[in-house]
Amino acid sequence: MSRQIIIDPITRTSSRGHVEVTIEQGKVVAARLSTLFFRGFEIMLRGRDPRDAPYLTQRICGICAAGHATAAAYALEDLAGVRPPRNGHLLRNLILTADTLQNHIRHFYLFAMPDFVRGPERSPFIPRYRHGYRLAPKIETRLMEHYFEAVKVSRIAHEFLAALGGKAPFVHGILPGGATVPPDGALVLDLRAKLDTIGRFIKEKMVSDLQTVSEAYREYYKFGRRPLRILVHGFLPVDPERKRFHFPTGVVEEDGTKELDASAIAEHLRHAYFKEDAGPQPAGQQETTPQPGKSGAYSWIKAPRYNGRPFEGGPLARLWVAGCYRRGISAMDRLTARVKETEILCGLMKEWLEELAPGEPVFTPFKPPKSGEGLGLTDSMRGPLLHYVQVEGGRISRYEIITPSAWNFSPRDDAGRPGPVEEALLGTPVADPGEPIEIGRIIRSFDPCFSCATHIIQKE
Ligand code: NI
């Protein structure tokens, strides 16, 4: 006998996600993941000055802002043929990484941990499932102390970001051409102190808390598995030219790692609420025309595919390509890689602070061209992020954004292949369909950002 379960909302943040799973003989046999709003930034940007893109696109969401600023800055630099000076490049890396630290700390403690640890008997920890928790109360109390400490520590990461980017979220300090804040000795000392506090918390608490959770819930190294198909655009360039990245570019399938070919990325629209004019189109060429109520569609997320196949992005993909972590592709591997990446990022930031050169330029002045196109590829907190800009008469004529959550949470494509999260849910044993705790744990291991994947609530 089959049974249908609907979970809605599936995140602990404001944006809505909705999942429908079909269970037969205690296991998931089908999953459909959708979101209920339309993003629309591509449409808002038409006709604007291209220099608006790094500011406006950050408003897509409140937690990956520096990622959008970075991708937009890269796209505009590609358009104008300009690169930042070394200081500007380092400052932008520091801002993006500080935002990633706050994201990863908040994801682990605020979004993922309540799936495995019972918090106090008050909001936002209740209501929750009654079964499926297995840590001793003493250990849960300790982890919850760290939960509240994580709120403070993630705020310090935001203070770091604001010191270089003007404010948090939605930084003003990431520009095409470089950054804005001239570094000096006092600023570097202050940032080093902040970084030491964050680094100590990660090393002394976050790493061991992950170990506690992963040892108690070992079956999650088997749950949430999917075929090895991962994609990395490249995260944190080594030099201003962006030829190499600290987390290298790569496309991994079962038959090995290949170079990324951006022209192999295309968006499928058959199961998304968008008008389809002519089959899957390459990135930058796909029209964004919303079509609410379209027959056969079930999500406001488009389905990006690489060579026609679904790919997963995120910290696990990055660490896999970099050769730092290759244990497996499961829910617990995703959580483990994210924590490990947080630790690695702190080490990189320390080096970059040392490399900043007071008195040297932070920005390369340039004139935006009146026409042309530009592609900005980076990894962001949750995986590969693409911004494409086309300019005519000095104004944006076309803009396109493909987010990590669009990759991970995409619906079925034109060939009917499920998206990565839909794949990861298949085969999951659900002990009690009345309390499907396993489903949420798997979905949240991907760190969903649905506001980045879609946007604007549909009026009913
Ligand atoms: Ni986002």
pLDDT at 30 over 70: yes
pLDDT at 13 over 80: no
Structural domain of residue 308, as residue ranges? 2-453
pLDDT at 57: 95
pLDDT at 452 over 70: no
Give the pLDDT mean for 65-81: 98
pLDDT at 285 over 90: no
Please give the distance, rounded to the nearest whole angstrom, from the Cα atom of residue 172 to the centre of ligand 1: 17
Which residues make Cβ contacts (< 8 Å) with residue 193, sequence separation at least 6? none
pLDDT tens digits for 95-116?
999 999 999 999 999 999 999 9
Q: What is the bridge-based pairing of β-strands 27-35 and 17-24?
A: antiparallel
pLDDT band of 454, cuts 50, 70, 90: very low
pLDDT tens digits for 409-440?
999 999 999 999 999 999 999 999 999 999 99
Please give the distance, rounded to the nearest whole angstrom, from the Cα atom of residue 17 to the centre of ligand 1: 13
- Whether 72 is in a domain gets the answer yes
Give the pLDDT mean for 259-279: 93
- Whether 111 is in a domain gets the answer yes
Please give the distance, rounded to the nearest whole angstrom, from the Cα atom of residue 186 to the centre of ligand 1: 32
- Whether 324 is in a domain gets the answer yes
Please give the distance, rounded to the nearest whole angstrom, from the Cα atom of residue 382 to the centre of ligand 1: 8
> Contact, 56 vs 77, CB < 8 A?
no
Please give the distance, rounded to the nearest whole angstrom, from the Cα atom of residue 4 to the centre of ligand 1: 29
Please give the distance, rounded to the nearest whole angstrom, from the Cα atom of residue 424 to the centre of ligand 1: 21
Average the pLDDT over each of 154-163, 246-255, 285-294 and give the range with the smallest value.
285-294
pLDDT at 143: 98
pLDDT at 12 over 70: no
pLDDT at 460 over 60: no
Please give the distance, rounded to the nearest whole angstrom, from the Cα atom of residue 56 to the centre of ligand 1: 13
Please give the distance, rounded to the nearest whole angstrom, from the Cα atom of residue 82 to the centre of ligand 1: 27
Please give the distance, rounded to the nearest whole angstrom, from the Cα atom of residue 416 to the centre of ligand 1: 26
Residue 102 tokens read as: 């706050």
Please give the distance, rounded to the nearest whole angstrom, from the Cα atom of residue 314 to the centre of ligand 1: 13
pLDDT at 458: 40
Please give the distance, rounded to the nearest whole angstrom, from the Cα atom of residue 381 to the centre of ligand 1: 8
Please give the distance, rounded to the nearest whole angstrom, from the Cα atom of residue 224 to the centre of ligand 1: 22
pLDDT tens digits for 49-70?
999 999 999 998 878 899 999 9
pLDDT band of 341, cuts 50, 70, 90: very high
Q: What is the CATH number of the domain that holds 439?
A: 1.10.645.10
pLDDT at 456: 35
pLDDT tens digits for 140-183?
999 999 999 999 999 999 999 999 999 999 999 999 999 999 99
> Contact, 324 vs 336, CB < 8 A?
no
Please give the distance, rounded to the nearest whole angstrom, from the Cα atom of residue 23 to the centre of ligand 1: 30
pLDDT at 451: 65
Please give the distance, rounded to the nearest whole angstrom, from the Cα atom of residue 61 to the centre of ligand 1: 5
- Whether 458 is in a domain gets the answer no
pLDDT band of 277, cuts 50, 70, 90: confident
Please give the distance, rounded to the nearest whole angstrom, from the Cα atom of residue 136 to the centre of ligand 1: 34
Please give the distance, rounded to the nearest whole angstrom, from the Cα atom of residue 275 to the centre of ligand 1: 24
pLDDT at 356: 98
Please give the distance, rounded to the nearest whole angstrom, from the Cα atom of residue 453 to the centre of ligand 1: 7
For the chain, what is the mean pLDDT? 94
User: Could you give the number of structural domains in the chain?
Assistant: 1
- The fraction of the chain above a pLDDT of 70, given in percent, is 97
Please give the distance, rounded to the nearest whole angstrom, from the Cα atom of residue 301 to the centre of ligand 1: 13
Please give the distance, rounded to the nearest whole angstrom, from the Cα atom of residue 271 to the centre of ligand 1: 22
Please give the distance, rounded to the nearest whole angstrom, from the Cα atom of residue 128 to the centre of ligand 1: 25
- Whether 459 is in a domain gets the answer no
Please give the distance, rounded to the nearest whole angstrom, from the Cα atom of residue 255 to the centre of ligand 1: 31
pLDDT at 11 over 80: no
Please give the distance, rounded to the nearest whole angstrom, from the Cα atom of residue 35 to the centre of ligand 1: 14
Please give the distance, rounded to the nearest whole angstrom, from the Cα atom of residue 15 to the centre of ligand 1: 10
pLDDT at 38 over 80: no
